[in-house]
Every structure is written in C-alpha cells, then in structure tokens.
A = this chain, B = another copy of it.
Amino acid sequence: MPNQDLLDRVCIILVRARNPNNIGAVARAMHDFGFRHLRLVNDYPVPFESARSAIDASAVLAAATTFPSVAEAIADCSLVYGTTAVGERVLEHPLQALPAAATTILSHLAASSQSATQATDSATPATTAEPHPEPRIALLFGSEKTGLSNDELSHCSALLTIPMQQHDDLRHPSMNLGQAVAVCLWELVRQPGAPAISTPHAPAGAAVLERLTTLMIDVLERTGYRRHHPANSDDAQVRRLIHRLGLSAIDAPVWMGFLRQILWHAENKQ
C-alpha cells in the first residue's frame, strides 16, 4: 500500500451521484483502500444518512464535503482526471486506459512529494518559507445515468477509462459506480511486486521422502498392488511419484502416519 500521505492527496469527486447506496459503496471502497477525501458535487442536499451500504465507511462519509460546482470541487487540485466509458461522446482530451492513468497519477504524487521534501530541506530560513502546498489529484466520476457532461469534462486535464469487453449487442458497456471507483482505487494501491503474503511451508527433506517411499513400497507390497501391477510400481516409479507430490515439511509426517497405520493394519490381519 502507498503511504497514507500519498493517499490523502487523492480526492474522489462524485458529480451528481443520485443513489445513496452508490455513494455508500464508493465510501466503503475508499475506506477499504485507505482513501479519505470524498467530495460531492450536487445541487441538492446529499442524503448521506441513507447511504446504507457504507459498512465501515462512516468516517469517510462524515468527512465528505459538498460543493455546488465542479470548478469549486477541484479548485485545489493540480491534476484532474475525468472518468468516462467512452461512448459516442466526442473526446477533446487525452484519454488514458486505467493502468496508464494510474502510473501517471502515482508519478505525479511521487514527484510532487519529492519537491515538497526538497523545499522543506532547503536553506530558506524557516520564517520566510511558505507552507508548501501539497498538490492534490482529483478523480471525477459522473452520475450513474449520464456520466460526466461535456461541460464537466472541460474541467479535466485528462480522461481515464476502464477498458471493458465489447459485446455484440452494440450497447456500450458501463460500470456500476461503486465498482468503477473500487477498480480505479485498487489500480492506485495495487503493488504488483508485493511478495506472496504467506508462502507454502518449507518442502520436506529428501530423507523424509525416502522414508515415505520405503513405507509406500511396503504398503503396495503388503496389500497386493505390486503383485497385480508390477509394471506400475517398481521402486523408482514409487519414488518419483512421492517426489512429485511436492510435500511440505508439515504435511509429510501426517502422510507418514497414514501409511504407518495402513501398513500396520495390513500386517496384522487376523
């Protein structure tokens, strides 16, 4: 996850969102991925209290701010992405697919955060240093029905689209608002290089595998398998089968226990 300082410089702006459940879903995705700045552009009071699907997102909703216009909502932002499903609208902005847009956004945040650090570190006497404005980035999402209008898009520095599957029915695909926001935010926080959270257990050692092989051979001998299928169960074949199991050091003793009991049972037929 990028650090909280970077996430706090991203504003999610919903323009004319109509459905309180969608606003709630957006807030929940923001909470899940660590974003805190939700802004709403609406010309009527936003029914926050009915944003029911916002489990765990009450802090995001409580801190949300409303603006009467897109211009006011983005006033402190230095990079403004409008999201679009790219229908028949004439696009007059550079359009980036989500992965490229996310790369641009993250570079922008990293670069400005560097220059902010440099400014702080510089020799400028503290008394004259102005507080360095931390550039903010806005991600605009339009209403569920119509998306962003051409006028709203005109406030954007660039457009972002989530590539989707084209279908034969000719209707242009569009995403559910809560899902679109979740996918965009995920793209910003996903770190492909992150190591597996837990790796499988250490593999069983060769000595253990050899004991298992011997046990398995005894079992196959004692239960009559080798007599019936000699071509299928010579020592080397059994050893290869055991090695190919890729047993972990945790599981190997369990299988050893299984086989010992099977062998004991086979040897003690009354």
Residue among A99, A161, A179 having the largest count of chain B Cβ atoms under 10 Å: A179
Q: Is A146 interfacial (CB-CB < 8 Å)?
A: no
Q: Please give me the residue from chain B that is nearest to A199 by CB atom.
A: B94
B191 engages A99 (CB within 8 Å): yes
Q: Is A65 interfacial (CB-CB < 8 Å)?
A: no
Minimal beta-carbon separation of A192 from chain B (angstroms) = 4
Q: In whole angstroms, what is the CA distance A86 to B99 when docked?
A: 27
Q: Please give me the residue from chain B that is nearest to A173 by CB atom.
A: B32
Kindly specify which of A38-46, A134-142, A148-156, A218-226 makes contact with the partner chain. A218-226
Q: In whole angstroms, what is the CA distance A190 to B99 when docked?
A: 8
Q: Is A56 interfacial (CB-CB < 8 Å)?
A: yes
Q: In whole angstroms, what is the CA distance A265 to B265 when docked?
A: 10
Within 8 A of B (CB), among A42-94: 53, 55-56, 86, 91, 94
Q: In whole angstroms, what is the CA distance A228 to B270 when docked?
A: 19
Contact of A245 among B162, B219, B245 (CB under 8 A): B245
Kindly specify which of A9-17, A114-122, A163-171 makes contact with the partner chain. A163-171
Q: Is A25 interfacial (CB-CB < 8 Å)?
A: yes
| Given A173-B56, A182-B175, A223-B261: A244 and B255 interface contact (C-beta under 8 Å) | no
Kindly specify which of A105-113, A124-132, A246-254 makes contact with the partner chain. A246-254
Sort A-B residue pairs by CB-CB distance and give the 6 closest, nearest first: A34-B165, A223-B265, A179-B182, A225-B261, A269-B269, A94-B200
Interface of A with B (CB < 8 Å)? 1, 7, 25, 28-29, 31-34, 53, 55-56, 86, 91, 94-100, 161-165, 167, 169, 171, 173-176, 178-179, 182-183, 186-187, 189-192, 194-200, 216, 219-220, 222-225, 228-229, 232-233, 241, 244-248, 251, 254-255, 257-258, 261-262, 264-266, 269-270
